[in-house]
């Protein structure tokens, strides 16, 4: 002890103590030479006391790379009033290395000067080896966990996170340091978040296993609040107290693939229905063309007969019959175009005045609008000019848009229909604007797909066919909401003249 006078180490009591102690004890003089070397030191090193006494400790017991460090600790202890501590290797007589944890204390003479250094050691070679092996085992286990392609999370019986793998970090958006010690329920949305502590408590109290070892589809929650589908596997093992290991597989991509597959199947069903529609259209066209042709011929014959008879209103009657013949022939042409459309034949384009063909279509399409209380307004820009169009197909599109608008306004308090033409960004623009009930959000995204309709009695092919026609004319058909209510359908077409090769057919 500091301040303790020491006359020597030749007393029998000190010798007996040194012999019986199971830990190595070495006494060094002020130069570092060994003056006492107990039996435990002999057993540990293989050197006898006679081999060691008088020799400086760093000359034979200390490994070369630690000699300088041991000298410094010795000098520090000589000048210190409190014990020093150090860990270093001893070389045994047979060349083995033993790791010793030392507590060093200065012993003074009667004048209070340093006389000896008492070093008491504990051999920690085996324990340090076990610690190293355990550390390596943990590191190996952790490397396996981090190599897992699914998130791996371990929790204790209180639901506190013990480990959080690399894939768990990627899946949930948390760093491991953010969740260690946190309750696992931070990774869950409601209602599981509030109920989870009860699940664990019930399992521990009753031993009843509801999800242990059984895959279960759940909803999990990322750091940013996003909720995603996952499958959870939970295993349990004991390490003094229960430890639960959860394997979480993100099903977002799988669910997206399933949705795409379902959509593809739906599209295939639609395609089949379109094929059936094509067959039906071809059959209808064949069946209708004959009576339509006959009707046109009969109406023409009546007109010829009326021309031979004089009566009041003859000219007006003949004009009406001529209109009937014209419309019958237009209907026949529409049927032919429909048949050609489903057979995927090319459009028959030629140069047409856009305002003229839109006006012609409006004349027929708005029939009955006035009786529905609908105010019809047309706004035709004279600068629109001509374009290379299939006249019948474009009239089919405008007629379909107008009839849809009229249907949408049947129960509206305000009924206003506007058909306009104009130019925008170098393209011809045709708009059909209504103040009807509008289109629901669930229909909007699929509005132009076949068999999608907002009408109770609609087939859902009119807009799909119209979009295909406009795209075949190198244009686009779009829909926007009208404010405060209704819809705005717009189709844009490239202008073109007879000598415009880019837009000619």
The per-residue pLDDT for range 33-85, each reduced to its tens digit, is: 999 999 999 999 999 999 999 999 998 999 999 999 999 999 999 988 889 99
CATH superfamily of 12-123: PAS domain (3.30.450.20)
Average confidence score pLDDT of the chain: 82
427 has which bridge partners? 424
Conformational region of residue 40, where left means phi above 0, alpha means psi within -120 to 50, and beta covers everything else? alpha
**pLDDT computed for residue 444 by the predictor:** 78
Distance CA 124, CA 24 (A): 12
Distance CA 206, CA 127 (A): 39
What is the Rg, in whole angstroms, of the alpha carbon atoms belonging to the chain? Answer: 48
Which three-class secondary structure state does DSSP give residue 419? strand
The domain over range 350-493 is classified in CATH as 3.30.565.10: yes
CATH of domain 255-342: 1.10.287.130
Q: Using N-to-C axis directions, what is the helix angle for 462-472 and 391-408, rounded to 10°?
A: 140
Distance CA 195, CA 423 (A): 62
Residue 440: is its pLDDT beyond 70? Answer: yes
**pLDDT computed for residue 342 by the predictor:** 57
Distance CA 421, CA 46 (A): 109
Tokens 């004349």 identify what position? 363
Q: Give the pair of three-digit tokens for residue 456.
A: 């109770």
Residues contacting residue 235 through CB under 8 Å, at least 6 positions apart = 212, 213, 244, 245, 247
Predicted confidence (pLDDT) per residue in 70-125, tens digit? 999 999 999 888 899 999 999 999 999 999 999 999 998 888 889 999 999 999 88
Burial of 361 (0-12, 13-18, 19+ CB in 10 A): buried
Residues contacting residue 151 through CB under 8 Å, at least 6 positions apart = 165, 167, 168, 170, 171, 172, 246, 247, 248, 249, 250
Distance CA 78, CA 76 (A): 5
Model confidence at 301, pLDDT cuts 50, 70, 90, reads confident
Maximum mean pLDDT: which of 199-203, 237-241, 330-334, 386-390: 386-390
> Please, are residues 222 and 173 in contact by the beta-carbon 8 Å criterion?
yes
**pLDDT computed for residue 236 by the predictor:** 85
Residue 470: is its pLDDT beyond 80? Answer: yes
Maximum mean pLDDT: which of 295-304, 393-402, 418-427: 418-427
Distance CA 36, CA 29 (A): 9
Residue 474: is its pLDDT beyond 50? Answer: yes
Q: Give the pair of three-digit tokens for residue 236.
A: 């349990």
H or E segment and range at residue 237: strand 227-238
**pLDDT computed for residue 417 by the predictor:** 94
Q: Give the pair of three-digit tokens for residue 124.
A: 């920690």
**pLDDT computed for residue 266 by the predictor:** 62
Predicted confidence (pLDDT) per residue in 283-297, tens digit? 666 677 778 777 777
Residue 128 CA to chain centroid, in angstroms?
A: 46
Give the full edge-to-edge strand order of the sheet including 476-481. Answer: 375-379, 416-424, 427-433, 487-493, 476-481
Model confidence at 1, pLDDT cuts 50, 70, 90, reads very low
**pLDDT computed for residue 461 by the predictor:** 60
**pLDDT computed for residue 4 by the predictor:** 44
What is the mean predicted confidence (pLDDT) over 207-230?
85
**pLDDT computed for residue 333 by the predictor:** 75
CATH value of 141-250 in 3.30.450.20, 3.60.110.10, 3.30.70.920, 3.50.50.60: 3.30.450.20
What is the mean predicted confidence (pLDDT) over 399-412?
89
What is the mean predicted confidence (pLDDT) over 486-493?
94
Residue 397: is its pLDDT beyond 80? Answer: yes
Q: Where are the domains of the chain?
A: 12-123, 141-250, 255-342, 350-493
- How, if at all, do strands 114-123 and 97-108 pair? antiparallel
Find the range with the poorest average confidence among 69-78, 129-138, 408-417. 129-138
Residue 137: is its pLDDT beyond 80? Answer: no
What is the mean predicted confidence (pLDDT) over 226-240?
85
67, 71, 76, 81 alpha-carbon torsion, rounded to 10° = 100
Please give the residue that has the higher pLDDT: either 193 or 458.
Answer: 193
Distance CA 297, CA 136 (A): 98
């Amino acid at each position: 002890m500091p301040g303790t006078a020491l006359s020597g180490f030749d007393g029998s009591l000190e010798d007996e103590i040194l012999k019986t102690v199971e830990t190595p004890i070495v006494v060094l003089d002020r130069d570092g030479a060994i003056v006492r070397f107990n039996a435990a030191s002999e057993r540990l090193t293989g050197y006898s006391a006679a081999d060691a006494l008088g020799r400086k400790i760093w000359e034979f017991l200390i490994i070369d790379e630690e000699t300088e460090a041991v000298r410094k600790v010795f000098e520090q202890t000589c000048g210190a009033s409190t014990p020093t501590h150090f860990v270093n290797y001893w070389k045994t007589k047979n060349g083995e290395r033993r790791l010793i944890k030392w507590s060093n204390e200065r012993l003074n003479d009667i004048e209070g000067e340093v006389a000896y250094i008492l070093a008491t050691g504990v051999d920690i070679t085996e324990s340090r080896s076990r610690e190293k092996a355990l550390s390596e085992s943990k590191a190996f286990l952790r490397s396996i966990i981090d190599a897992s392609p699914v998130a791996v999370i371990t929790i204790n019986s209180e639901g506190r996170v013990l480990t959080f793998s690399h894939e768990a970090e990627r899946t949930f958006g948390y760093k491991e340091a953010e969740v260690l010690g946190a309750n696992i329920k931070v990774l869950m949305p409601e209602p599981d978040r509030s109920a989870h502590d009860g699940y664990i408590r019930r399992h521990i109290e009753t031993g009843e296993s509801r999800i242990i070892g059984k895959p279960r589809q759940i909803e999990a929650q990322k750091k940013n609040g996003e909720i995603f589908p996952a499958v959870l596997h939970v295993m349990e093992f004991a390490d003094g107290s229960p430890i639960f290991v959860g394997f979480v597989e993100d099903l977002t991509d799988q669910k997206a693939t399933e949705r795409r597959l379902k959509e593809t199947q739906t599209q295939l069903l639609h395609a089949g229905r379109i094929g059936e529609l094509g067959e039906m259209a071809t059959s209808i066209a064949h069946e209708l063309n004959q009576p339509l042709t006959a009707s046109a011929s009969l109406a023409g014959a009546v007109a010829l007969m009326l021309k031979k008879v004089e009566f009041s209103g003859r000219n007006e009657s003949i004009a009406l019959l001529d209109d009937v013949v014209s419309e019958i022939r237009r209907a026949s042409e529409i049927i032919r175009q429909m048949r050609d459309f489903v057979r995927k034949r090319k459009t028959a384009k030629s140069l047409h005045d856009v305002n003229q063909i839109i006006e012609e279509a409006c004349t027929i399409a708005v029939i009955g609008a006035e009786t529905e209380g609908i105010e019809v307004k047309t706004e035709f820009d004279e600068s629109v000019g001509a374009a290379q169009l299939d006249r019948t197909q474009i009239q089919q599109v405008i007629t379909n848009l107008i009839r849809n608008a009229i249907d949408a306004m049947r129960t509206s308090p305000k009924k206003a229909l506007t058909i306009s033409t104009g130019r925008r960004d170098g393209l011809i623009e045709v708009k059909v604007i209504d103040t009807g009930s509008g289109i629901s959000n669930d229909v909007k995204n699929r509005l132009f797909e076949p068999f999608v309709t907002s009408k109770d009695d609609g087939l859902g092919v009119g807009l799909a066919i119209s979009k295909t026609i406009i795209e075949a004319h190198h244009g686009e058909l779009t829909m926007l909401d009208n404010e405060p209510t209704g819809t705005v359908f717009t189709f844009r077409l490239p202008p073109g003249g007879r000598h415009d090769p880019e837009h000619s057919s």
